[in-house]
């Protein structure tokens, strides 16, 4: 049981489920997907969890030493010494290969190729870049948003405007989300040598205003699916879904402004948890109002 628990810690299931959730919703939003096929949804979920788990395992295996010095990560299996790096790499290779196989065999090579690209970006570009420059957050935003394209490609067999809109929204969403996390864990990250906040001075007004700016940018992008025909906003249900998207954006902007005004960890934590709520509400609103 302890070994199973350690493998789950490698996968980071809570984070992976959020990532795969966006992929599944994007799949269901694809025009060619006209019904809920639970078998295909389950296969996409499994493939996404395996690939995402592989990326997280690579991250933890490569960052063994830095994880060991941070309070929030020192109990991870590789950092704590309960699992050696060879086992971590073996787990990452097996889960990654199996996940890519599921996507390629049951869906299409496009979705599998995008997943492989996302895995490479996260494990071998974003992970080492975190110690070099805060531009790592931009590099990490690409694999963080690619699940939307993966799901869209799995359902639509090609990349069209709807998939790119979902990608753009999730790409922008990650900046206030991740900067809030980096604000909360700033001392730990500094100890490990990570450079993840936009200001070299750490949690400053500049960092907070960047969070506000990206929250504001999310607003128009999140409305584009309605005005490009991917989602409908006619009828009572459509109007309700559109209102949910608008309210979610106002909620996110207000939390970011509060961080700018108060400049404290508590406000950053509210931005972080608020971003989870935002993404779930907006994606489900899209799904409920699918054209």
pLDDT range class, residue 26, cuts 50, 70, 90: very high
Q: Tell me the average pLDDT across 195-203.
A: 79
End-to-end C-alpha distance for the chain, whole angstroms: 46
The pLDDT of residue 263 is: 94
Domain 1-158 - what CATH class?
A: mainly alpha
Predicted confidence at residue 34, as pLDDT, reads 86
At 169, is the pLDDT very low, low, confident or very high (cuts 50, 70, 90)?
A: very high
Query: For the chain, what is the radius of gyration of the CA atoms?
Result: 19
Q: What average pLDDT does this structure show over 244-254?
A: 96
For CATH 1.20.120, the residue range(s) in the chain are 160-291
Q: Is the pLDDT of residue 56 over 80?
A: yes
User: Most confidently modeled of 19-23, 79-83, 135-139?
Assistant: 19-23
Q: Is 290 in a helix, a strand, or coil? A: strand
pLDDT at 152 > cutoff 70: yes
Helix (H, G, I), strand (E, B) or coil at 231: strand
What is the percent of the chain with per-residue pLDDT over 70, rounded to a whole number?
A: 98
What is 160-291's CATH number? 1.20.120
pLDDT, position 233: 67
pTM: 0.92
pLDDT at 197 over 90: no
CATH 1.10.357.140 region(s) of the chain? 1-158
Q: Which residue has the higher pLDDT, 189 or 100?
A: 100
Give me the pLDDT at residue 278, please: 97
CB 106 within 8 A of CB 43: yes
Residue 175 contacts residue 162 (beta carbons within 8 Å): no
- Residue-wise pLDDT tens digits, 79-130: 888 888 999 899 999 999 999 999 999 999 999 999 999 999 999 999 888 8
- The per-residue pLDDT of the chain, averaged, comes to 90
Residue 265 is predicted with a pLDDT of 94
Cβ neighbours, 10 Å, residue 164: 15
Confidence band for 234, pLDDT divided at 50, 70 and 90: low
Please name which of 230, 204, 198 lies closest in space to residue 134, comparing C-alpha atoms: 198
Instruction: Give the per-residue pLDDT at 291.
Output: 65
């Amino acid at each position: 049981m302890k070994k199973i628990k350690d493998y789950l810690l490698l996968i980071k299931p809570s984070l992976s489920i959020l990532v795969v959730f966006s992929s599944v919703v994007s799949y269901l939003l694809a025009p060619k997907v006209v019904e809920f096929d639970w078998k295909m949804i389950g296969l996409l979920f499994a493939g996404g969890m395996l690939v995402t788990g592989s990326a997280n395992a690579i991250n933890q295996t490569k960052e063994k030493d830095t994880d060991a010095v941070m309070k929030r990560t020192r109990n991870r299996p590789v950092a704590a010494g309960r699992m050696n790096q060879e086992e971590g790499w073996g787990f990452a290779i097996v889960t990654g290969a199996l996940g890519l196989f599921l996507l390629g065999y049951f869906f299409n090579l496009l979705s599998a190729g995008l997943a492989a690209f996302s895995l490479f970006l996260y494990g071998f570009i974003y992970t080492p870049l975190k110690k070099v420059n805060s531009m790592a957050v931009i590099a990490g935003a690409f694999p963080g948003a690619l699940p939307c394209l993966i799901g869209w490609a799995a359902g639509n067999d090609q990349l069209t405007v709807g998939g790119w809109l979902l990608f753009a929204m999730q790409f922008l969403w990650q900046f206030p989300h991740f900067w809030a996390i980096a604000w909360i864990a700033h001392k730990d990250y500094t100890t490990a040598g990570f450079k993840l906040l936009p200001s070299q001075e750490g949690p400053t007004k500049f960092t907070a205003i960047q969070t506000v700016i990206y929250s504001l940018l999310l607003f128009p992008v999140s409305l584009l699916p309605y005005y490009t025909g991917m989602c409908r906003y006619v009828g009572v249900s459509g109007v309700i879904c559109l209102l949910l998207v608008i309210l979610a954006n106002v909620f996110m902007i207000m939390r970011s402004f509060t961080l700018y005004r108060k400049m404290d960890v508590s406000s950053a934590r509210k931005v972080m948890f608020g971003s989870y709520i935002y993404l779930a509400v907006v994606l489900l609103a899209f799904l409920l109002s699918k054209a």
